[in-house]
Structure 1
Amino acid sequence: MTIQGWILIAAFVGILLALTKPMGLWLHALYEGRRTPLHSVLGPVERGFYRLAGIDPTQEQGWRRYAVHMLLFNAVLMMFTYAILRLQGVLPGNPLGFAGTSQHLAANTAISFTTNTNWQSYAGESTMSNLSQMLGLTIHNFLSSATGIALAFALFRGFARREAKTVGNFWADCTRVTLYLLLPISIVYALFLIASGVPQTLAGSVDVATLEGVKQTLALGPVASQEAIKMLGTNGGGFFNANSAHPFENPTALTNLVEMLSIFVIGFGLTWTFGKAVGNTKQGWAILSVMVILFLAGTTVAYWQEAAGNPILHHLGVAGGNMEGKEVRFGIVASSLFAVVTTAASCGAVNAMHDSFTALGGMIPLFNIQLGEVVVGGVGAGIYGFLLFAILAVFVAGLMVGRTPEYVGKKIEAREVKLAVLAIAILPLVILGMTAISSVVADGLAGPLNKGPHGFGEILYAFTSAVGNNGSAFAGISANTPYYNAMLGVAMWLGRFFVIVPMLAIAGSLAAKKYTPASAGSFPTTGALWVGLLVGIIMILGGLTFLPSLALGPIADHLAMIAGKTF
Structure 2
Amino acid sequence: MTLQGWILILGFVAILLVLAKPIGAWLFTLYEGRRTPLHIVLGPVERGLYKLAGVEPVQEQGWRRYALHMLLFNVALMTFTYAVLRLQGVLPGNPQGLAGLSPHLAFNTAVSFATNTNWQSYGGEGTMSNLSQMLGLTIHNFLSAATGIALAFALFRGFARREASTVGNFWADVTRITLYLLLPLCVALTLFYIASGVPQTLAGVVDVTTLEGARQSILLGPVASQEAIKMLGTNGGGFFNANSAHPFENPTALTNLVQMLSIFVVGVGLTWCFGKAVGNTRQGWAILSAMAILFLAGVTVTYAQEAAGNPILHQLDIAGGNMEGKEVRFGIAASALFSVVTTAASCGAVNAMHDSFTPLGGMIPLFNIQLGEVVIGGVGAGIYGFLLFAILAVFVAGLMVGRTPEYVGKKIEAREVKLAVLAIAVLPLMILGLTALSSVLEQGLAGPLNKGPHGFSEILYAFTSAVGNNGSAFAGLTANTPYYNGLLGVAMWIGRFFVIVPMLAIAGSLAAKIYTPESAGSFPTTGGLWVGLLVGIILILGGLTFMPGLALGPIADHLAMIRGQLF
Rounded Cα–Cα distance in structure 2 between residues aligned with 1:320 and 1:210: 32
Rounded Cα–Cα distance in structure 2 between residues aligned with 1:213 and 1:231: 37
Structure 1 residue aligned with 2:243? 243
Query: Match of 2:86, as an amino acid?
Result: R
Structure 2 residue aligned with 1:12? 12
SS at match of 2:350: coil
Q: Once the 2 structures are TM-superposed, how far is the Cα of residue 166 of structure 1 from its aligned partner?
A: 0.2
Q: Once the 2 structures are TM-superposed, how far is the Cα of residue 250 of structure 1 from its aligned partner?
A: 0.1
Rounded Cα–Cα distance in structure 1 between residues aligned with 2:212 and 2:340: 38
Structure 2 residue aligned with 1:411? 411
Structure 2 residue aligned with 1:421? 421
Structure 2 residue aligned with 1:28? 28
Structure 1 residue aligned with 2:365? 365
Structure 1 residue aligned with 2:158? 158
Q: Once the 2 structures are TM-superposed, how far is the Cα of residue 408 of structure 1 from its aligned partner?
A: 0.2
Q: For 1:141-199, what per-residue CA distance to the aligned partner results, in whole angstroms no more than 9, with x for missing partners?
A: 00000000000000000000000000000000000000000000000100000000000
Q: Once the 2 structures are TM-superposed, how far is the Cα of residue 481 of structure 1 from its aligned partner?
A: 0.1
Query: Match of 2:11, as an amino acid?
Result: A
Rounded Cα–Cα distance in structure 1 between residues aligned with 2:562 and 2:478: 28
Confirm whether residue 345 of structure 1 aligns to residue 345 of structure 2.
Answer: yes
Rounded Cα–Cα distance in structure 1 between residues aligned with 2:61 and 2:352: 44
Rounded Cα–Cα distance in structure 1 between residues aligned with 2:378 and 2:13: 17
Q: Once the 2 structures are TM-superposed, how far is the Cα of residue 209 of structure 1 from its aligned partner?
A: 1.2
Query: Match of 2:365, as an amino acid?
Result: P
Rounded Cα–Cα distance in structure 2 between residues aligned with 1:62 and 1:548: 41
Structure 1 residue aligned with 2:192? 192
Rounded Cα–Cα distance in structure 1 between residues aligned with 2:43 and 2:540: 47
Q: Give RMSD over aligned pairs.
A: 0.3
Rounded Cα–Cα distance in structure 2 between residues aligned with 1:122 and 1:262: 25
Confirm whether residue 204 of structure 1 aligns to residue 204 of structure 2.
Answer: yes
Gaps of 5+ in 2: none
Q: TM-score w.r.t. structure 1 length?
A: 1.00
Query: Match of 2:501, as an amino acid?
Result: V
SS at match of 1:284: helix
Query: Match of 1:301, as an amino acid?
Result: V
SS at match of 1:348: coil
Q: Once the 2 structures are TM-superposed, how far is the Cα of residue 54 of structure 1 from its aligned partner?
A: 0.4
Q: Once the 2 structures are TM-superposed, how far is the Cα of residue 213 of structure 1 from its aligned partner?
A: 1.1
Rounded Cα–Cα distance in structure 1 between residues aligned with 2:292 and 2:401: 28
Rounded Cα–Cα distance in structure 2 between residues aligned with 1:566 and 1:201: 46
Query: Match of 2:491, as an amino acid?
Result: A
Q: For 1:383-414, what per-residue CA distance to the aligned partner results, in whole angstroms no more than 9, with x for missing partners?
A: 00000000000000000000000000000000
SS at match of 1:514: coil
SS at match of 1:458: helix
Confirm whether residue 479 of structure 1 aligns to residue 479 of structure 2.
Answer: yes
Structure 2 residue aligned with 1:387? 387
Query: Match of 1:237, as an amino acid?
Result: G
Query: Match of 1:459, as an amino acid?
Result: I
Rounded Cα–Cα distance in structure 2 between residues aligned with 1:427 and 1:481: 23
SS at match of 2:166: coil
Rounded Cα–Cα distance in structure 1 between residues aligned with 2:448 and 2:214: 35
Structure 1 residue aligned with 2:46? 46
Structure 1 residue aligned with 2:546? 546
Return 487-496 or 207-216, whichever deviates more.
207-216
Superposed structure 1 runs of 4+ greater than 6 Å apart: none
Q: Once the 2 structures are TM-superposed, how far is the Cα of residue 293 of structure 1 from its aligned partner?
A: 0.3
Structure 2 residue aligned with 1:500? 500
Gaps of 5+ in 1: none
Rounded Cα–Cα distance in structure 2 between residues aligned with 1:270 and 1:129: 35
Q: Once the 2 structures are TM-superposed, how far is the Cα of residue 69 of structure 1 from its aligned partner?
A: 0.2
Query: Match of 1:487, as an amino acid?
Result: L
SS at match of 2:207: strand
Rounded Cα–Cα distance in structure 2 between residues aligned with 1:207 and 1:559: 48
Confirm whether residue 252 of structure 1 aligns to residue 279 of structure 2.
Answer: no
Query: Match of 1:189, as an amino acid?
Result: L
Structure 2 residue aligned with 1:89? 89
Query: Match of 1:113, as an amino acid?
Result: F
Structure 2 residue aligned with 1:430? 430
Q: For 1:484-541, what per-residue CA distance to the aligned partner results, in whole angstroms no more than 9, with x for missing partners?
A: 0000000000000000000000000000000000000000000000000000000001
Instruction: Please give the residue correspondences for 1:40-439 in structure 2 after superposition, counting only pairs within 5 Å.
Output: 40-439=40-439
Rounded Cα–Cα distance in structure 2 between residues aligned with 1:320 and 1:208: 36
Query: Match of 2:356, as an amino acid?
Result: S
Rounded Cα–Cα distance in structure 1 between residues aligned with 2:222 and 2:63: 38
Q: For 1:194-219, what per-residue CA distance to the aligned partner results, in whole angstroms no more than 9, with x for missing partners?
A: 00000000000101111111111011
Q: Once the 2 structures are TM-superposed, how far is the Cα of residue 443 of structure 1 from its aligned partner?
A: 0.2
Rounded Cα–Cα distance in structure 2 between residues aligned with 1:475 and 1:418: 37
Rounded Cα–Cα distance in structure 2 between residues aligned with 1:420 and 1:205: 50
Q: Once the 2 structures are TM-superposed, how far is the Cα of residue 31 of structure 1 from its aligned partner?
A: 0.1
Rounded Cα–Cα distance in structure 2 between residues aligned with 1:377 and 1:84: 30
Query: Match of 1:370, as an amino acid?
Result: Q
Q: For 1:229-271, what per-residue CA distance to the aligned partner results, in whole angstroms no more than 9, with x for missing partners?
A: 0000000000000000000000000000000000000000000
Rounded Cα–Cα distance in structure 1 between residues aligned with 2:69 and 2:10: 42
Instruction: Please give the residue correspondences for 1:455-534 in structure 2 after superposition, counting only pairs within 5 Å.
Output: 455-534=455-534
Rounded Cα–Cα distance in structure 1 between residues aligned with 2:33 and 2:347: 27
Rounded Cα–Cα distance in structure 1 between residues aligned with 2:209 and 2:341: 37
Structure 1 residue aligned with 2:565? 565
Rounded Cα–Cα distance in structure 2 between residues aligned with 1:482 and 1:377: 30
Q: For 1:339-395, what per-residue CA distance to the aligned partner results, in whole angstroms no more than 9, with x for missing partners?
A: 000000000000000000000000010000001100111100000000000000000
Confirm whether residue 37 of structure 1 aligns to residue 37 of structure 2.
Answer: yes
Query: Match of 1:111, as an amino acid?
Result: V
Identity %: 84
Query: Match of 1:433, as an amino acid?
Result: G
SS at match of 1:393: helix
Structure 2 residue aligned with 1:446? 446
Query: Match of 2:566, as an amino acid?
Result: T
Q: TM-score w.r.t. structure 2 length?
A: 1.00
Rounded Cα–Cα distance in structure 2 between residues aligned with 1:10 and 1:429: 36
Rounded Cα–Cα distance in structure 2 between residues aligned with 1:562 and 1:251: 35
SS at match of 2:165: coil
SS at match of 1:521: coil
SS at match of 2:208: strand
Query: Match of 1:355, as an amino acid?
Result: D
SS at match of 1:216: strand
Q: Once the 2 structures are TM-superposed, how far is the Cα of residue 462 of structure 1 from its aligned partner?
A: 0.1
Rounded Cα–Cα distance in structure 1 between residues aligned with 2:136 and 2:525: 43
